[in-house]
Amino acid sequence: MEIKTVGIVGAGTMGNGIAQVCATAGLSVTMVDIAEDALEKGVQTIQSSLERLVKKERLSTNDRDSALRLVNTTTQLADLKNVDLVIEAASEAEAVKLSLIKQLDGIVKPEAIIASNTSSISITKLAAASSRPNRFIGMHFFNPVPVMMLVELIEGLQTGNATKQAAEEFVGLIQKTTITAKNSAGFAVNRILVPMLNEAVFVLQEGIASAEDIDKGMQLGCNHVIGPLALADLIGLDTLLSVMEVFYSSFNDPKYRPAPLLREMVEAGYMGRKSGRGFYSY
């Protein structure tokens, strides 16, 4: 099926980023969140991001205005009833996602595809919450969405070939590149990345090096664009902790235990950039 209209559940960092790349590709977008202020903040983020592209001469003012006109907001999931594709980009909490998928299943049209932007939770399990598991797929975007070129597609046990093909065509339309991963905790990219970030927290916790030196070491010694602790702040320490907990419970392997310092920082409300404080202050 051809995807022309997209619904996005969640107006946060990932949700508004996905909305932006869809709108700049000419797709009609409906972004849903439970709070009006979250929707307003999401739209403001999109406006600021598009304005930066205009200043860099990577986007015309006409294209900016056209994209903004294509982004609609609502607090009602029912407003997604006619979309071709809905992407769930809510918090990385299994119970929340399962509840949303059950609700969306009763709202969107029968031929619509439901996708989850989860970074670690089983696509097979999420798909089972829907009456159309063959039309469910994992569609994992990376932060910041307008900049990062990858979308990781994950097929659940029930995902149909037509759904996978439609997802690939959609990702091409928004000018991203796909890789395909099996349904395993963390899939491919985060299975490698997140334990590395967790290990950086252990190195800091044990006093082996300062946060600045850990990040500088990985940037200059391993040619990483951003250091692991700064990246953890960007991703969100609560999200990082959630993913590590999924790994730990899924694989029953102590190598995936979350660093105690990571857990303590989350308990303190130090979530990274989004809270103004993580391993660094913002």
Q: Which residue among the candidates 152, 155, 183, 242 is catalytic per the annotation?
A: 152
Q: Could you tell me if 160 and 133 are in contact, meaning their C-beta atoms sit under 8 angstroms apart?
A: no
Token digits of residue 68: 């903004």
**Antiparallel, parallel or unpaired: β 71-74 and 136-141:** unpaired
Whether 252 is catalytic is no
Query: Residue 1 corresponds to which amino acid?
Result: M
Whether 223 is catalytic is no
Q: Could you tell me if 227 and 218 are in contact, meaning their C-beta atoms sit under 8 angstroms apart?
A: yes
Q: Which residue among the candidates 16, 49, 117, 119 is catalytic per the annotation?
A: 119
Whether 92 is catalytic is no
Distance CA 128, CA 117 (A): 16
Residue with tokens 């949700």: 15
Q: Which residue among the candidates 122, 190, 198, 242 is catalytic per the annotation?
A: 190
Whether 140 is catalytic is yes
Q: Which residue among the candidates 16, 120, 140, 242 is catalytic per the annotation?
A: 140
In which element (H, E) is residue 197 found? helix 189-205
For residue 264, how many other CB atoms are within 10 A of its CB? 11
Q: Provide the 8-state DSSP code for 59.
A: S
Cα–chain center distance at 163: 20
Distance CA 70, CA 192 (A): 36
Q: What are phi and psi of 114, to 5 degrees?
A: -110, 130
Q: Which residues are known catalytic residues?
A: 119, 140, 152, 190
